[in-house]
Amino acid sequence: MNDMILEADGIYHVYESKAEDGNVVALRGLHISMKAGEAIAVVGPSGSGKSTLMKCLGGLMKASAGSVSLDGKNMTRLTGQELVELRQKTVSFIFQEGNLLPDLNARDNVAQPLRHQGVSSKKALAIADKMLERLGMGHRGHAIPALLSGGEQQRVAIARALITQPRLILADEPTGALDPVTSREVLALFKDLHENDGVSFLIVTHSKEVAAFADRSLELRDGRFVAEHGTNVDVEDLSKDRELIIDETGTVTLPPDLLIRLGGAGRYTVGNINSGYISLQGESVDSIGKMELASNCPACKHDYGDSDDQLCPSCGSSRPMVEV
């Protein structure tokens, strides 16, 4: 079994356009090395290239340049059928919209990937029922997607992704359509699969709470990784392309190896500016800390004490997560 479940080497992606602005470069020479059983979050603003990256890594879209290897096999060299078979036995996708088949009920949607693998319909439906029960959706098995809420549709989509027992899950904003309580239940399921079943996760997200679930997070901006946080940080993943990026708001992005030398993210004082050089001095702070349930309700100040309540017993507000 290959130790690396996913590797990308120098991938670029260009969207060709005849518009006045010309072609759009979505990814700019990205490198990723993801160990089997690891959980990685990719964070960044809209338009930074997150969804394009996920499609290229999962073999749904071919990168304009560079190579992607899934479970040790270079996907750019596989035939269409070989690629389909590799994806079926290795990876599952979860999208924010759910992407359920509208004419099939929940059970049939979940069972569909197993049917594609040649499992009998009866056996596939029996496994689908168990997976729906695990996600608290057993009572909605016969409902078509149009009759399900956004949160219910997403749970069905997650059940469908898990039914093939994938080694890697690529998820694009998997909790984006969910309320805070359901979102945490889904994250708890991901954590269980990650810690107890050794499932690898690469999650594209805006959410700090989701990013904190991962072992490490990669920050994507303008098609480049500009920072990395968490455990087992490998600067080589990011520093092949040393650049100083200053955006329209005056925000400066430093290469990660330089940032680590400075002491990490934080508040810095600028000096020496008139000499043509900039000197930075300051104290570092952690970028993404651990998240835990708030001890007091922000709405009515109720003290939760030692309870694990997700809703405030006094005013009914959702209990937020806070950084510690």
**Tens digits of residue pLDDT in 214-260:** 888 888 888 888 777 776 555 455 545 445 556 666 666 666 556 66
pLDDT by residue (tens digit) across 270-308?
665 666 556 666 554 444 456 678 888 888 888 988 888
Closest to 214 (Cα-Cα) out of 42, 33, 6: 42
CA separation for the pair 66, 11 (Å, rounded): 4
pLDDT by residue (tens digit) across 175-218?
877 788 888 888 888 888 888 888 899 999 888 788 888 888 88
List the domain boundaries for the chain.
4-218, 245-284, 290-324
- Token digits for 180? 């805070």
**pLDDT of res. 178:** 79
Determine how many CB atoms are found less than 10 A away from the CB of residue 230.
Answer: 17
CA separation for the pair 90, 59 (Å, rounded): 12
Q: Which segment, 63-77, 81-95, 106-120, 147-161, is predicted with the most confidence on average? A: 106-120
Percent of the chain whose predicted confidence (pLDDT) is above 90:
23
CA separation for the pair 161, 171 (Å, rounded): 10
In CATH terms, 4-218 corresponds, of 3.20.20.10, 3.40.50.620, 3.40.50.300, 3.30.450.20, to: 3.40.50.300
- pLDDT (average), residues 259-275: 63
Is pTM beyond 0.85? Reply is: no
Contact 169, 91 (CB under 8 A): yes
Confidence of residue 95 (pLDDT cuts 50, 70, 90): confident
Residue 1 pLDDT greater than 50, yes or no = no
Closest to 10 (Cα-Cα) out of 32, 26, 25: 32
**pLDDT of res. 286:** 45
CA separation for the pair 145, 100 (Å, rounded): 7
**pLDDT of res. 116:** 87
CA separation for the pair 320, 310 (Å, rounded): 8
CA separation for the pair 34, 2 (Å, rounded): 11
Residue 282: its H or E element: strand 279-284
**pLDDT of res. 3:** 84
Residue 103 pLDDT greater than 90, yes or no = yes
